[in-house]
């Protein structure tokens, strides 16, 4: 049914003026162009269950990442502690080296032992 407010279409006004197309001329409009074009941006339809992440999977991923993070935090703490110990050891060795160098200088007679004591004070 047509809406009476709408104007009748051209085909309805002159039904005799319409011509039938001959069946011999049917064929592709552009015979040399291959019909290889497909919609590039068309995405496959997804169901609602595919579009939302599975809460149990994301929960497991969260727990795994949290566990990994905590392990890395613990390792970082341990490495910081070891680094502090090594830095302290380096300081002790440097102090010992300076003491040995001072003794060496005195033993070789380059500096009088009394001068060493006055420099240290």
Where does the pLDDT of residue 114 fall: very low under 50, low under 70, confident under 90, or very high at 90 and above? Answer: confident
Q: Which residue has the tokens 């566990």?
A: 67
Is the confidence at residue 86, as pLDDT, over 70?
yes
8 A C-beta contact, residue 69 and residue 76: no
- Cα 83 versus chain centre, distance: 30
Q: What is the pLDDT of residue 111?
A: 81
Q: Are 8 and 2 in contact (CB under 8 A)?
A: yes
How far apart CA 67 and CA 73 sit, in angstroms, is 10
pTM of the model: 0.43
Give residue limits of the domains in the chain.
58-117
Residue 116: its pLDDT value, please? Answer: 72
What's the CA gap between 102 and 113, in Å, rounded? 9
pLDDT tens for each residue of 12-58? 555 555 555 555 555 555 555 555 555 555 555 555 555 555 667 88
What does the pLDDT read at residue 112? 79
pLDDT at 101 over 80: yes
Between residues 114 and 93, which one has the greater pLDDT? Answer: 93
Residue with tokens 């003794």: 103
Structure confidence at residue 7 as a pLDDT band (50, 70, 90):
low
């Amino acid at each position: 049914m047509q809406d009476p407010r709408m104007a009748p279409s051209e085909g309805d006004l002159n039904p005799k003026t319409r011509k039938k197309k001959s069946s011999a001329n049917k064929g592709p409009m552009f015979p040399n162009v291959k019909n290889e074009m497909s919609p590039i941006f068309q995405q496959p339809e997804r169901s609602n269950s595919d579009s939302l992440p599975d809460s149990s999977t994301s929960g497991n991923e969260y727990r795994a990442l949290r566990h990994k993070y905590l392990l890395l935090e613990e390792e970082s703490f341990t490495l910081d502690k070891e680094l502090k110990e090594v830095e302290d050891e380096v300081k002790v060795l440097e102090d010992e080296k300076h003491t040995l160098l001072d003794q060496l200088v005195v033993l070789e007679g380059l500096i009088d032992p009394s001068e060493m004591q006055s420099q240290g004070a």
